[in-house]
Amino acid sequence: MTDLETHAPGRAGALRRAAPALLGYAAVRALGLLALALWSAARDKSAYTLLTARWDSLWYTRVAELGYGYEVRLPNGDVHSDLAFFPMLPWLERLGATVTPLSHADAGFVVSLLASLTAAWGIFAVAEHAHGRRAGVCAVLLWAVLPVGVVQSMAYSESLFTALAAWSLYAVLTGRWVTAGALAALAGLTRPVGLAVTAAVWAAALAACVRSRSGTVPDGARGPGRAPSDGARRVLGVLLAPLGAAGYVLWVGHRTGKGPFGYLDVQAGWRNGFDGGAAFARFVAEKFTSFSSVPAGVGLVVGVALLVRLYAECVRRRQPLALLVYAGAVTVLALCASSYFGSKPRLLLPAFPLLLPLAVALARLRTSRSAPVVGAVAVASAAYGAFWLNGSGPP
C-alpha cells in the first residue's frame, strides 16, 4: 500500500470532522460578501474593487505583475517602497495569472478565498486537538465573525498567513516537526509577523527536548514513545522555521545596499517600527483630550483590556506552549508597532488562539442558545465590514 493510500482515509476523516466548521465559515463569509455588495451598490461603488484593488492589494498586485522596485516619494520625504511587502502572496498571484485566464488581482482574490478556508480548517484542527470537536467548530465561527473578518476575503495576506501559521502550529502539536518548520518558513515569506510562528516552533521544540531528556512524552506525541529519529526531525524543523523571513530580509538588505537592517529602513519609510507601544499609548491618550473622542478612547482601552484578559485566560487554562508563544508574539507585535493605528485590528486577525477560551465557553452552551448568538454577531459583523470597507477601510 502506498503512502497516499495510507493517509487518504485519515485526510478524508479529518475533512468530514471539519465539515460543519467549514460550512459555517463559508456561510458567514458569504453573508459578509452579500452585505458588502448591497452596501457598495447603494453607494455606487464596486464591492469587488474594494476587495481586490484598494490599499495593500494594489501593492501586492504590482509586485506580482512587475516585480519589486516600485516606490512612492511623498512630499514630507517619506518613501513608500514595495519592498515592505513580503513575496508569498505576489508569487501565488503570479502563478494563478500564469496558469489560468485570471488577472493578477483576480488571482489574489481566489488565493485569499481558498486560503481563508484553509485557515478555517487549520484553526479547527488546532482547537479540536486542544479542546475537542465542538470547541473547534466554535473557534472557526468566532474567527469568521470578528468585526474585521471581511479582511479574510480581501486580496490581502492575512488569510494566507493565518492558514500557514495554523497548520504549522497543528504540526507542532502533533509532533510533525519538519512540516511545522517548513510551514513556518512559508509563513515567514508571507508577513513580517511570521517570526511569531518561528518563535512558537522554537519554544515548543525546546520544551519537547527538555521533556524527552527527562523521560516524559513531548506535547503532541502519541503512543508509548517517540522514534529515535524524532530529535533529528525536531532539529531540522527548528532550522527550517526562520529561513523564509530571514531569507527575504537579507535579500532586501542586499538589494538596498544597507545590509541586514535594510528592511527596517524600508519599514521606516512607511513610518512603521517597533516602539514598545509608546505611539499607540499616545494615540489612545489623545482620545481623552476631546469630549467627542472619549467614547473611542474608552473603546480602545476596553479592547486592549479584553485582549490581555483573553491571553491571561489562555495561560490559566494551560494552553500548549506553542499557542501561547504564537498568540503572545502576534499581539505584542501588533500593539507595540508604531504603524497606522487603524490597522491594528487587522494585524490581530491571525491571533486566533486568543479565541479558544471563548470557543470553549460557547461550546458548553446548547445549540439552541449558541446559534442565535453566533447568528446575531455574524449579521453585525457583516454590516460593520460593509460599512468599514466603504469608509476608511483597512490600510
217 — pLDDT class (breaks 50, 70, 90) = low
Res. 78 pLDDT band, cuts 50 70 90: confident
Cα dihedral: 366, 367, 370, 371 (round 10) = -160
Residue 228 has pLDDT above 80, yes or no: no
Average pLDDT over the chain reads: 89
* 317 in a structural domain: yes
Average pLDDT over residues 106-116: 96
Establish if 304 belongs to a structural domain.
yes
Q: Is residue 298 part of a domain?
A: yes
Residue from 36, 40, 37 nearest 148 by CA: 36
Report the alpha-carbon distance of residue 47 to residue 60 in Å, rounded.
Answer: 18
Average pLDDT over residues 60-79: 91
Domain contains 8: no
Whether 182 is covered by a domain: the verdict is: yes
pTM of the model: 0.92
Residue 225's CB is within 10 A of a number of other CB atoms, namely 12
What does the pLDDT average to over 59-74? 93
The number of folded domains in the chain is 1
pLDDT of residue 215: 64
The answer to which of 38-42, 69-73, 155-159, 211-215 has the lowest mean pLDDT is: 211-215
Residues 148-207 pLDDT 10s: 999 999 999 999 999 999 999 999 999 999 999 999 999 999 999 999 999 999 999 999
How far apart (Å, rounded) are the C-alpha atoms in residues 209 and 73?
49
Classify 80 as helix, strand or coil: strand
pLDDT at 211 over 50: yes
Q: Considering the domain boundaries, does residue 116 fall inside one?
A: yes
- Read off the pLDDT band of 389 (50, 70, 90): very high
Name the pLDDT band for 6 (thresholds 50, 70, 90).
Answer: very low
Which value, in Å, is the radius of gyration of the alpha carbons in the chain?
Answer: 21
Q: How many CA atoms lie within 13 A of 7 on its CB side?
A: 3
Residue 309 lies in a domain: yes
| Percent with pLDDT over 90 in the chain | 68
* Statement: residue 382 has pLDDT above 90: yes
User: Is residue 101 very low, low, confident or very high in pLDDT (cuts 50, 70, 90)?
Assistant: very high
pLDDT in tens, 238-254: 999 999 999 999 999 99
Structural domain span for residue 167: 21-222+229-349+356-361+370-389
Phi, psi of 41 (to 5 degrees): -60, -40
| Sequence-distant (≥ 6) Cβ neighbours of residue 49 within 8 angstroms | none
Report pLDDT digits (tens) over 127-146: 999 999 999 999 999 999 99
pLDDT of residue 376: 94
Can you tell me which residue has the cell 513610518?
271
- Nearest CA-CA partner of 256 in 269, 274, 239: 269
Contact (Cβ atoms closer than 8 angstroms) between residue 63 and residue 87:
yes
Q: Is residue 101 part of a domain?
A: yes
Q: Please report the pLDDT score of residue 70 as a whole number.
A: 93
User: How far is Cα 182 from Cα 185, in angstroms, rounded to an integer?
Assistant: 5
- Tens-place pLDDT, residues 313-345: 999 999 999 999 999 999 999 988 877 777 888
